[in-house]
Structures are given as structure tokens and as C-alpha cells.
Amino acid sequence: MENSYRFFQNKECCYFPCHQGLKECNCLFCYCPLYQRENCPGNPSYKEKNGRKIKVCTGCTFPHLPQNYDIIMKILKG
């Protein structure tokens, strides 16, 4: 897939690829815009630290899959 407003891949990033096993990794949402949402369409895990529940998204590839661009934009638009 070519870089566009819907897809961007930064192969020069020191963290690329941040998730193994993806055919195409969309870097557009490098920092997931859905992190603050309690109910997101991804598959986060949670851990407890100092009595607080922390969302852990290291195993989630949802924002990096090119086909999820429209879903993310719809959620952000509300």
C-alpha cells in the first residue's frame, strides 16, 4: 500500500516494525487515538499497578491494520 492520508509507513523508525507478523503496518496511528477510551475495538489487556488498572496495548494491532482506518475515524468523529 502506498503512503496517503489513510496509510503511512515509516520504515526508518527505530521501532519499526512495532508489531511482528503484520503484512502491512500502518504507522498513521502510531500512538493509538483510542487508548483513553474504555471500550475500544482492539484487544487490550489490563494490569494492576499501585491499586490502579492500566490498559496495556502492546499486543493490539487494531490501529495498525490499514482496513481499520474508517472504523477509527468513525469512532473519533463520535
Helix (H) or strand (E) holding 76: helix 69-77
Q: Digits of tens for pLDDT over the chain (78 positions)?
A: 788 899 999 999 999 988 888 989 999 999 999 999 988 999 999 999 999 999 999 899 999 999 999 999 999 998
Look-up: residue for cell 500500500? 1
Name beta bridge partners: 53. Answer: 48
Tell me, what DSSP letter sits at residue 33?
Answer: T
The span from the CA of 46 to the CA of 75, in Å, is 21
pLDDT score at 2: 82
Q: Give the predicted TM-score (pTM) of the model.
A: 0.83
The SS3 call for residue 75 is: helix
